[in-house]
Amino acid sequence: MQFDDQNVDVSGVDDRRGGRRVGRGTAVAGGGGIIGLITVILVVLLGGGSGLAPGAVDVTGLPTGALDGGASGETLEELSTRCNAEGAIDEYADCFLIKVYNETDEVWAAELARRGEEYRRPALTFFEGQVSTACGPATSQVGPFYCPGDEHIYLDIGFLQQLQAQLGAEGRYAQAYILAHEFGHHLQTVLGVERQVRRAQQANPRQANALSVRMELQADCLAGVWGRLADDAGNVTISSGEVAEAQEAAAAVGDDRIQSSAGQRVDPERWTHGSAADRQAWYTTGYSTGDLNRCDTFAG
């Protein structure tokens, strides 16, 4: 994955790692993530607890800086300096994710302006272990998530990389897909989809899971649309191998695969995010068309 420039803009970052509060926003966040509502299953997979559990992936062998890159107490200015140094995007996971966040923001701002739609930028929050959010408290075991209450995307980078390895969703472009999926939830908030779905769930609780699945599949599709638009605009250059990485990542976090990995019976009635096949298919629809209108997962 190649970017059109190496500038990393940290102005939208809210860095809470190591107990720090650096950057934009207040202490808020919480729900609707790519892995989001499968906390119980992840506890089974990873063994629960706050540290590396039995069977969890050992990330101590990763390159220096691969987890969060920053020394404890790093200021926003220091983060900017580090991420704008030569080679930083390739060396540091946080710098790479901030750059993906920058490009995703740029592409969606332009696309919604073209469509005559309102747009506003979400914040990108890094945390470690646990975080206090507008949608309620959350721990790393929830996985990456978006909170419509404060319009923040939340990431614990170290835990994200553990999840990638545990679920077989490895690769840097897989990380880009995960972040783009959370950005998709932000678009649903901006465009009013999230509010409509929540109302429908309250009106018909029996359909709550089915509606959640449709919303997650739409976020997968929007992640694909972003990839196509970004590539077509020249913001990023994405190889066919990287598209395959994203497709495999989408499948890896399907509810059926996660239930099977946890030793549970595959039960579609408990799904909240969709099957591996559906997640992969909707991502592919978004990427192949580059058309936001093709992401109507609620039709029919």
The domain segmentation of the chain, as residue ranges, is: 2-295
Mean pLDDT of 20-45: 38
Residue 131: strand, helix, or coil: strand
Instruction: Find the range with the poorest average confidence among 29-43, 119-133, 169-183, 214-228.
Output: 29-43
Alpha-helix runs per DSSP H in the chain = 39-46, 76-83, 88-91, 93-114, 157-167, 172-190, 193-203, 208-233, 240-252, 255-261, 276-289
Contact between residue 154 and residue 129 where contact means Cβ atoms under 8 Å apart: no
Distance CA 209, CA 9 (A): 37
Residue 233: what pLDDT? 95
Distance CA 1, CA 22 (A): 28
Q: Is the pLDDT of residue 56 over 50?
A: no
Q: Which is more confidently placed, 58 or 35?
A: 35
Give the burial class of 113: count Cβ atoms within 10 A of its Cβ; 0-12 exposed, 13-18 middle, 19 or more buried. Answer: exposed
Q: Which is more confidently placed, 23 or 97?
A: 97
Q: Residue 151 — left, alpha, or beta (φ > 0 → left; ψ -120 to 50 → alpha)? A: left
Hey, what are 222's tokens? 């929007």
Q: Is the pLDDT of residue 7 over 60?
A: yes
- Which residue type sits at 77? E
Residue 20: what pLDDT? 54
**DSSP letter (8 states) at residue 146:** E
Contact between residue 68 and residue 94 where contact means Cβ atoms under 8 Å apart: yes
Q: Which is more confidently placed, 260 or 24?
A: 260
Q: Is the pLDDT of residue 270 over 70?
A: yes
- Helix, strand, coil shares of the chain as percentages rounded to 5? 55, 10, 40
- Which residue type sits at 279? R
Q: What predicted TM-score, i.e. pTM, was given to this entire model? A: 0.82
- The rounded percent of the chain whose pLDDT value lies above 90 is 63
CA-based nearest residue to 83, from 6, 171, 161: 6
Q: Is the pLDDT of residue 189 over 70?
A: yes
